[in-house]
Amino acid sequence: MKEQLRNIEEKARDAISSVTDLRALDDLRVSLLGKKGELTAILKQMGKLSAEERPAMGQLANRVRATLEQLLSEKNAALHSAAQAARLGAERVDITMPGKRPAAGRLHPLQIVENEVKEIFLGMGFSVVDGPEVEYDYYNFEALNLPPDHPARDTQDTFYITDNILLRTQTSSVQVHVMENQKPPIRVISPGRVYRSDAVDATHSPLFHQVEGLVVDKGITMADLKGTLEMLMRRLYGDDCKIRLRPHHFPFTEPSAEVDVMCFACHGAGCRMCKGEGYIELLGAGMVHPKVLEGCGIDSSIYSGFAFGLGLERIVMRRYNISDMRLLFENDMRFLEQFR
């Protein structure tokens, strides 16, 4: 029996030292010390021993049991810390490695230029106002001195929602909202989307953007209009930029002008970019028609004003040398990523 116990201890030492994972160690523990284990089997035979032999043998058996328990628990601790070390090693983070750059969005070129235009006008004491894109006929046409039979109301150009509700065709509608709600002095710009039933091509889109400007005060003249627009264009295109006013007609301004900006490619000489003109048309403008002022409750014998409406797409296309307007609306990331 003594032999058997020694044997068990020997075998167990080898087995425990060669175990490499916790599950195998647990199986081993059960097979050594469990109810059906080898040691238990031997202890059950103690009854067969004589009274003299029994205490010594009992002692030996207990010692072997204690030894095995000790070895098992040491091994258990060793395997645990090895497993932990392995996990920490695997999870180690190299804090010197360069991080992944989060994919940041960019501003759309239209937004970049709109922000710039806003900054320029804020610097001149203007405030920025917003107006509805779904609009009453009254604000888009009638209050702007466009009578019901005016060709601009043609369903060819205007998206009508009902007989008297439409998608605004110009930001000039905001002029009327502003003058209804605010008395002079008025100095506002209003950037936003406008809609016209145009077929899509390189220079047309049924949705485009305008920036409306409106100044109403005592003694406002055409010189204020020209000075303001000159300042805008110089800030946008550089100090040597020149503008030119050509007589034109808008129902809601009198006199009216179309404003051209000197071609940057040829500086006025005439080239392919400006189709030989030397200048490029950028916006419509004029002195606010007295009828429009009066319609909004502003006394036109005391106050005068100027207004302008510029197409944002044109400015963006000139600025970045973009030849096809569709590029601005297709939202191809390869295109949009180029702008800052």
The site for ligand PHE (CB under 6 A) is made up of 170, 172, 250, 253, 284-286, 307-309
Decide: residue 179, CB within 10 A, 0-12 exposed, 13-18 middle, 19+ buried. buried
State the DSSP string of 70-122: HHHHHHHHHHHHHHHHHHHHHT---TTSPPPPP------HHHHHHHHHHHHHH
User: What is the spatial distance between Cα 235 and Cα 262, in angstroms, rounded to a whole number?
Assistant: 14
C-alpha to C-alpha distances, 69 to 20, 81, 114, 248, 333, nearest whole angstrom: 17, 18, 79, 104, 68
Least gap, CB of 306 to ligand PHE (angstroms): 8
The nearest distance, CB 106 to ligand PHE, in angstroms, is: 29
Smaller CB separation from ligand PHE, 32 or 307 = 307
Judged by beta carbon, residue 172 or residue 304, the one nearer ligand PHE is: 172
Question: Identity (one letter) of the amino acid at 111?
Answer: Q
Q: How far is the CB of 118 from ligand PHE (least distance, A)?
A: 17
Residue closer to ligand PHE (CB basis): 172 or 328:
172
Q: In angstroms, what is the minimal distance from the CB of 253 to ligand PHE?
A: 5
> Which CB, 57 or 215, lies closer to ligand PHE?
215
**Cβ closest to ligand PHE, residue 195 vs residue 250:** 250
Angle at 258 between CA 257 and CA 260, to 5 degrees: 135
- Closest approach of Cβ 302 to ligand PHE, in Å? 21
CB closest to ligand PHE, residue no: 309
